[in-house]
Structure 1
């Protein structure tokens, strides 16, 4: 029979004696809420939010349909929370790209590289956002368009840092920002819908598009 050293025995006893911290009711509720969000997002890879049913979401999240209402008042509320998460990702991406300074080549490269990194890490959120932007008249598509307009407004403020744009009117800066947002989302969707082996080509094209937009902006009267 193998003897256990006293020190080892004490360590084993200490580990086994450690109490398991119970999961609070609030933690369980938050986990279930996130499970519902994850379940919905997973099923939106190939269809718009408008056709997603509550029963489908709860089945994938492995909860009974009636339990859904402990976390969301409606499917629209769930969709708006998903939209909020997606916009948070987009804003974090913009925050990262802000560190590029004002040199055109550096800015363009940083923006495109950052877009690639965030898109590959959050493909389902970007797919959801790009689809809902053109999703019709429901609460979620309308909110998506509103949020993206607000995001373009934030980008317009950043664009005013560049020398050739400082004298631009606010409405022209917003127009330019909206053009850039449209181009970035189109690039994100192109990345999502193609294999990673083509990423280099997609990103090279994106850089050219951004430089073309910048060239046009520099000569805008």
Structure 2
């Protein structure tokens, strides 16, 4: 005789169902954005891809613009956290550079759709989406400026100069993102060459630190 075990499935709450549907809309948008710009998306096709009726879209987002801003926040939030972790472990600039470039590389290769969206929409298309990207990049730069104070040669720098250096670093990292996305060949040698150039860019920025007089 075989004993049977009755398994009880916990009911899914209304809030959980709502969250799942919201994420389905975001996932549907990511799939569609792989082949077109955000402005080319329609609410109806995003809802259809997510498996809901168009009117149900408004239970989760007030507009396509709000959906776009959420996509930006979703893309950048994880990156900021990963880069922050990479920066807080090392105490020397060379170690921080190496760790940050490696983390950026891993994240870009794992989420290329997110970064294509960010680089494509940064200067074109929907105004609210472009503004959200600018805000997220500024937050990214501000967090970096705070972290830079931990480095010995930067402790006496004023806030304006720290933010200026942080902006230079973010610009260099964005150049690396483009290099990775636009690479014609995808192999270890090509990726290693891109990472090497990325580290050189950042080292070049840090070389100027001892000679700069912050005032």
Give your verdict on TM over 0.5.
yes
Q: 1:196 to 1:92 in 2, by over 3 A?
A: farther
Which ranges in structure 2 are unaligned for 5 or more consecutive residues?
A: none
- Map 1:141-160 onto structure 2 (within 5 A): 141-160=130-149
Displaced runs of 4 or more, over 3 A: none
Shift, 1:123, TM fit:
2.0
CA-based RMSD? 1.9
Structure 2 counterpart of 1:171: 160
Aligned counterparts of 2:22 and 2:85: Cα–Cα separation in 1:
29
Structure 2 counterpart of 1:3: none
Which ranges in structure 1 are unaligned for 5 or more consecutive residues?
A: 1-5
The size of the alignment, in residue pairs, is 210
Shift, 1:206, TM fit:
0.5
Larger Rg: 1
Aligned counterparts of 2:205 and 2:178: Cα–Cα separation in 1:
19
Structure 1 counterpart of 2:97: 108
Aligned counterparts of 2:68 and 2:191: Cα–Cα separation in 1:
29
TM-score, normalisation: structure 2: 0.88
Shift, 1:137, TM fit:
6.3
Shift, 1:41, TM fit:
1.7
Aligned counterparts of 2:60 and 2:51: Cα–Cα separation in 1:
14
Structure 2 counterpart of 1:48: 37
User: What is the DSSP-based 3-state SS (H/G/I as helix, E as strand, rest coil) of the residue aligned with 1:43?
Assistant: helix
Aligned counterparts of 2:83 and 2:117: Cα–Cα separation in 1:
18
User: Which range is displaced more, 50-59 or 138-147?
Assistant: 50-59
Shift, 1:40, TM fit:
0.9
Aligned counterparts of 1:117 and 1:45: Cα–Cα separation in 2:
19
User: Which range is displaced more, 205-214 or 40-49?
Assistant: 40-49
User: Which of 175, 200, 205 does residue 208 from structure 1 map onto?
Assistant: 200
Aligned counterparts of 2:162 and 2:149: Cα–Cα separation in 1:
7
TM-score, normalisation: structure 1: 0.86
Structure 1 counterpart of 2:172: 183
